[in-house]
Structure 1
Amino acid sequence: MTEPVLLPQILEKTVSENSVQLVLRIPENLLYLDGHFPQMPILAGVVQLHWAIQFAKDKFSITDLIEDVSQIKFNSLIHPQDKVTLTLTLNPETQTLTYTYKLDEKICSSGRFVPIKK
């Protein structure tokens, strides 16, 4: 058995001034899948938000402390071995970040968060 991991595999990365798009593969040995759920593992929503914050922190040099989270929607499940696209977009005027996870063209989840200013 392989050692559990905490992050997805980054297959592609496209960066522009106010956005980043990451194509991610969800590994079967992802620690967060353990017990969620044994017969049909899925990627928990809290992990999706956590990853969005962490990847935004890397791209936009923000703090990982969040002031507000809103408009979170979960539309479709994400499973091990799925290849999803995470898009993060910064609104420079409001310093609000939006995120969307897509599987092909289907939106799996989305939301918005505001980091605490440094």
Structure 2
Amino acid sequence: MSDDKINLLSGLFTKDQRPEILSVDVAELKALITLHVPEDLSWFDGHFPEQKVLPGVVQIDWAGKFSKALLLNSERFSQLTNVKFKSMVMPNTQMSLELTYLPEKHLIKFHFFSEHDSFSSGSFKFLTP
């Protein structure tokens, strides 16, 4: 895997708001990104003081930005569908994000998961040109 894709994706966020990107594999209509969620992300501040949890909206933001950078280029999202949050993402979690582009349906499916957990999933519908 080239460091170019890791640098491209890392550049989408400020240091205190981005996951550590460990690997990126892109094939035709799919991408698999391996991430580490550092404990010092600003997203954890105030999101449950007794137990820090990565907010679901952050997972959606990451999936959307990675989708546009790797699979869609200039397409505009129109809605989220079938979003499910299944397990909480704690600090220092290593997880993967799978993105699947379905051009005939004008959507991208996303799924955050680890070997033992499914964290969240859903789809982005986008506007057709």
State the TM-score, normalizing by the size of structure 2.
Answer: 0.82
What are the equivalent positions in structure 2 for 1:41-80 lying under 5 Å apart? 41-63=52-74, 65-80=76-91
Helix, strand or coil for the counterpart of 2:22?
Answer: strand
Partner of 1:34: 45
Question: C-alpha separation between the residues in 2 aligned to 1:103 and 1:64?
Answer: 29
The one-letter code sitting in structure 1 at the alignment partner of 2:109 is T
64 and 54 in structure 1: CA distance in 2 versus 1, 3 angstrom threshold: farther
Q: Is the 8 A contact 1:12 1:24 kept in 2?
A: yes
Q: Which residue of 1 aligns with 2:122?
A: 111
Cα distance, 1:13 vs. partner? 1.1
Shift of 1:6: 0.9
What TM-score, normalized to structure 1? 0.90
- If each structure's helix is expressed as a fraction of its own residues, which one has the higher value? 2
Secondary structure of the equivalent of 2:21?
Answer: strand
Shift of 1:97: 0.4
| Count of aligned residue pairs for this structure pair | 116
Match of 1:98 in 2: 109
- Percent of paired sites with the same residue: 31
Shift of 1:115: 2.3
Task: Extract unaligned runs of 5+ from structure 2.
Answer: 1-14
Check 1:64–1:51 CA distance in 2 against 1; reply closer, same or farther (3 A cut).
farther
Listed as ranges, the gaps of 5+ residues in structure 1 are none
1-side partners of 2:126 and 2:74: how far apart?
6
Inter-CA distance 73–32: structure 2 relative to 1 (3 Å threshold): same
